[in-house]
Amino acid sequence: MAFFHISYHQHENKMITVDLKLDGPVAYAAYLKTEHSEENIQFWVACETYKKIASRRSRMYQAKRLYKVYIQPQSPREINIDSSTREAIIRDIQEPTQTCFEEAQKIVYMHMARDSYPRFLKSEMYQKLLKSIQSNNS
């Protein structure tokens, strides 16, 4: 799954690489919202931000926040992870490290890579984005 670079062929069989750093992730997030699964990309991005937290105090606060929003059963944006991963997070956030959400993040990434991202690539929303980029590059 590539959030940032997409390649496609033009009619003249010429390969073009399109940089979607701005539109790609935004379009994918919008697509996930239409599927009622935007919590996946939100959690993945939140984990990327969480990993960069240097302060122990800030990390503790954010770990508890991530748990309440995405991990806790019946939470507002609960992600689909197995019980052993959930239990490991509950244990790990007592003394949170920068990697305590890593396994859940991998699981969510795999859900997106195998399920929603391939559908996104076939979606009308994505096709419109490609046509827009293609016409801007012409």
Q: What is the pLDDT of residues 23-38, one digit of tens each?
A: 567 788 888 888 888 9
Q: What's at 65, amino acid-wise? A: R
Rg value, the chain, Cα: 18
Q: Is 87 exposed, middle or buried (0-12, 13-18, 19+ CB in 10 A)?
A: exposed
The pLDDT of residue 29 is 85
C-alpha to C-alpha distance for 48 and 135, rounded to whole angstroms: 33
**How high does pLDDT run on average in the chain?**
83
H runs (alpha helix) in 67-138: 83-92, 102-111, 117-122, 124-137
List pLDDT tens digits, range 72-95: 999 989 999 999 999 999 999 999
